[in-house]
Structure 1
Amino acid sequence: MQVWIIDDDAALRTLLSTALSGWGAHVSGFGSVEEALRAIEGGAPQPDVCFADWTLKDGPVLRVKPLMPDTRFVVMSGNPAAEEGLPKDIQWLAKPFRLSELNRMVMAER
């Protein structure tokens, strides 16, 4: 399983990457929307799941979603109001969350 993490918090990316790798996922991490867009434009294969922070400095993470139509997209945020405006095909993971919650979401994909 290929998983992407788009989050500008390097420590969180590292933590999630370590956990996901331990569960057998192949993980790619990006610190910005622009980094993820460059990977897509460069021909990177679409991930099975993408976990993305809702609030990134370089713009809305939803710019990435249309370019990955077959990817399950999960938005992570500590702002509960953000969940209300999400399209129905995007899942929500409230920060802070337990790694067991992340594990359940990843295992649901398998």
Structure 2
Amino acid sequence: MTEESHGGDRAVDSVLAALADPTRRLLLDLLAARGEATATTLAERLPVSRQAVVKHLAVLDAAGLVSGGRVGREVRYTVRPEALDATARWMASLAADWDLRLATIKRIAEAAERDEG
């Protein structure tokens, strides 16, 4: 797959790399369900330390999947769906390309079968 296949958009690469980790996917799920949460609150729901949660949140933030905003002494994180939307669009485009390729192969195979018969 070339960079041109998804418009040279490195954001998709960052999202896919961030989502490759099951803990980060779980964090994203928890945030989506809660709407907003602190690293401490999220760590209470996971079998990892608060420090590990903060590191995972930093990766998700760098990929554009979450954002953190300071409220008093706390940093509250929320999901940013835009990066997921862009990745979903790229995946849908990739799937459509494969559907076209497979339809062409099917058509060629069916034609060859008719010619033999």
TM-score (norm 1): 0.26
- The structure where strand makes up a greater share of residues is 1
TM-score (norm 2): 0.25
- Larger Rg computed on CA atoms: 2
- The structure where helix makes up a greater share of residues is 2
